[in-house]
Structure 1
Amino acid sequence: MPSRKKASLFASAFVSCVCSFGMVCVVLATQQWMSSQLRFSNSTVSLTYGLFSGTCEQFVDPGLQVSEKAFQVAGNLGSTKAKSTITAIIVILVLSLLSSLLSSGFTCTNAVSNPYQTFLGPIGVYTWNSLCGIFTLLAMILFPVNVEGHELSVELARGCFPFLQTHVESAHTYGYSYWLMLLILLLNIISAFIIYIYDHARYSKKKEQERPIQNAPKDVILF
């Protein structure tokens, strides 16, 4: 059976990994990634959307609302680059979800068992936590690239209202669904740090037990 200290440390890391898993689920499920105000030469469009769906409203100056409707992100995109990037973000977040799930399983296993000297031990936890963090960071980078570089909001607005004229300017606000990915990164760092504390303590204890004989008392060496 594992020591009480080891069990408590890995149990803490397990809680952190489970929270990370839950946050990835929330990020995928909620549609508050972006709010955009787009000004066109003939009207203004307001968008709120996520990876799968959103809502759009059109206003004709001065402030008269013409229509409001829901839309599917994939269905509104005509640009191959924008659609491919959204698909890549979804796939990356699914991989992040699987990584956090595996990390949770590894930490749970180590909390109730003796230390492994294989990939099932701290090395495995480090690996899956790192992968989850890397995938999440990639998603955080790719989404702004899609919004700014591929004009994602403009594409979605034109999909909602085909008769929009020249695009004049845009204002974007990232929603809580996007910023929750920072919390996922923090939770992965916390999990890895907790395991590092255990691993470092175990290494230090092992080194103490392997002290060279010259550090032993002289009367012990004589015998």
Structure 2
Amino acid sequence: MPSRKKTTMFASAFCACVCSFVLICVTLATPHWMSSQIGFSGTNSSVTVSLTYGLFSGTCEQFVAAGLQVAETTFQVADNLHKTPAQSTITTIIVMLVLSLLSSLLSSGFTCTNAVSNPYQTFLGPTGVYTWNSLCGIFTLIAMILFPVNIEGNGLSVELAQGCFSLLQTNTKSEHTYGYSYWIMLLIIFLNIASIIIIYFYDHARYSKKKEQERPIENAPKDVILF
């Protein structure tokens, strides 16, 4: 049976991994990645489109200069992009988060197994936990970087606004506010780092104890060496 210390530390890492898994699900499911105000100039008036969207769906509404508001509509992100670079980047972000989800699931399984069993000397031990948590954090970080690149480089919000209202013409201004669905990814990265740190402290303490037990006999106190 594992020691109480080992069970406690791996159980703590398991909780962090499970929280990471749940938060990735929330990030994928919620449509609050971005809120944008996109201004367009038309022939006779200016128009502002307000967008709130995630990776799969969102809502948009249109305001004209006179104060007239068009009813809020729901849209699918993929339908509004029509195979543009912005859509390819969105697909890449989804793939990164799915890989992150799988890595988090595997890390949860490894930490749970180690919490209730004796130490492993193979990839199923701390090495496996380090690997899967690192991969989860890296995939999440890539997704976190790609989304702003898609906003600023590929004009994601502008494309979505034009997809909602096809008569819009020249874009004049854009204001963006990142939502909680995006910032949750930062917490996911911190949770993966926390899991690695917890297991590192356990592994380092176990290694130090093992080395202490393997001290050569010449380092033992002289009064113990009796013949």
TM-score, normalised on structure 1?
A: 0.97
1:81 match: 85
What per-residue deviation string (whole Å, max 9, x for no partner) do you get for residues 65-106 of structure 1? Answer: 023210000000035210100000001000000000000000
Aligned match for 1:51, one of 33, 55, 59: 55
How far is 1:10 from its partner? 0.5
Q: Percent identity?
A: 79
1:149 match: 153
Residue range with higher mean Cα deviation, 72-81 or 213-222: 213-222
Calculate the aligned-residue CA RMSD, in Å: 1.0
Distance 1:189 1:212 in 2: 36
> Which blocks of at least 5 consecutive residues in structure 2 are unaligned?
none
Contact 1:79 1:155 in 2 (8 A): no
2:30 match: 30
How far is 1:222 from its partner? 5.5
Q: How many residues align?
A: 223
Name the SS for the 2:119 alignment partner.
coil
Q: Is structure 2 residue 101 aligned with structure 1 residue 97?
A: yes
TM-score, normalised on structure 2?
A: 0.96
Contact 1:56 1:68 in 2 (8 A): yes
2:64 match: 60
Q: Is structure 2 residue 169 aligned with structure 1 residue 165?
A: yes
Distance 1:11 1:180 in 2: 23
Distance 1:190 1:217 in 2: 40
Residue range with higher mean Cα deviation, 17-26 or 59-68: 59-68
What per-residue deviation string (whole Å, max 9, x for no partner) do you get for residues 25-51 of structure 1? Answer: 000000000000001113110000000
Contact 1:35 1:173 in 2 (8 A): yes
Distance 2:52 2:115 in 1: 42
How far is 1:53 from its partner? 0.2
Which ranges of 4 or more aligned residues in structure 1 deviate by more than 6 Å? Answer: none
2:205 match: 201
